[in-house]
């Protein structure tokens, strides 16, 4: 990957490590994570807006709308409906974060999209793994296991409706991401074939030597 792509992947990986703490209630992790997501999401969507053929004025307005939706709408939802150590601390949530990143970050090279979305999943999973590690403490009288052990690396939470919403999002985003990935792959292959044909046409004709 190019260095700038690696830098972006490392940045989103580091920020994704804070995403599971969005359910911890009003505080620094939620405020900083939502603010960063609201700022970077419109920039990741620029290529998508260009592909839609929007003029510059519409792109600016769309970016502002995305920022307001994440900055205020997502914050309101988290403050009123999130539960600490709920489905935000789960493996389906890590997959959803990767799918949203894949759909947001559009690029002509499919591998770069996989790289960036994979960085988000890696950062998310790192947080979950560290939560489970720190739920077990070694003391003088043996191992102590906190009540929070097993609440991070899980596939479902205690609340039914949150499980349903999470898996509906997981399946829906998975179908959309798979369709978009197939379209990107086809476009990439067609572009490569056109470049090969163009390079073949511009090749100089071989010289015919006579004895």
Question: Domain spans of the chain?
Answer: 3-25+82-201
Give the pLDDT confidence score for residue 37 in this predicted structure: 81
Give the pLDDT confidence score for residue 53 in this predicted structure: 84
Of 139, 136, 158, the closest CA to residue 149 belongs to: 136
CA dist 31 and 27 (Å) reads 6
Of 181, 7, 20, the closest CA to residue 109 belongs to: 181
- Write the CA distances from 29 to 17, 34, 84, 101, integer angstroms: 10, 8, 13, 20
Burial readout 25-40 (b: 16 or more C-beta within 10 A, e: otherwise): eeeebbeebbebbbeb
CA dist 116 and 110 (Å) reads 10
Give the pLDDT confidence score for residue 4 in this predicted structure: 92
What are residue 40's phi and psi, to 5 degrees? -85, -25
Give the pLDDT confidence score for residue 74 in this predicted structure: 83
CA dist 89 and 117 (Å) reads 18
Give the pLDDT confidence score for residue 125 in this predicted structure: 93
Taking 50 as the pLDDT cut, the residues of the chain under it are: none
Give the pLDDT confidence score for residue 210 in this predicted structure: 57
Point out which residues pair with 144 in neighbouring strands. 137
Give the pLDDT confidence score for residue 153 in this predicted structure: 82
């Amino acid at each position: 990957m190019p260095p700038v792509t690696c830098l972006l992947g490392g940045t989103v990986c580091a920020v994704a490590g804070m995403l599971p703490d969005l359910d911890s209630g009003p505080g620094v992790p939620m405020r900083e994570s939502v603010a960063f997501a609201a700022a970077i999401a419109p920039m990741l969507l620029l290529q998508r807006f260009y592909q839609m053929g929007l003029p510059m004025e519409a792109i600016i307005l769309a970016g502002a709308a995305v920022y307001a939706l994440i900055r205020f709408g997502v914050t309101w939802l988290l403050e009123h409906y999130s539960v600490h150590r709920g489905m935000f601390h789960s493996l389906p949530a890590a997959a959803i974060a990767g799918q949203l990143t894949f759909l947001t970050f559009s690029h002509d090279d499919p591998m770069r999209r996989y790289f960036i979305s994979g960085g988000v999943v890696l950062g998310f999973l790192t947080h979950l793994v560290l939560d489970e590690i720190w739920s077990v403490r070694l003391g003088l009288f043996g191992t102590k296991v906190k009540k929070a052990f097993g609440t991070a690396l899980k596939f479902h939470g205690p609340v039914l409706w949150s499980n349903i919403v999470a898996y509906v999002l997981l399946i829906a985003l998975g179908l959309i991401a798979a369709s978009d990935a197939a379209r990107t792959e086809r476009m990439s292959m067609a572009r490569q074939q056109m470049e090969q044909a163009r390079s073949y046409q511009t090749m100089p004709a071989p010289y015919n030597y006579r004895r």
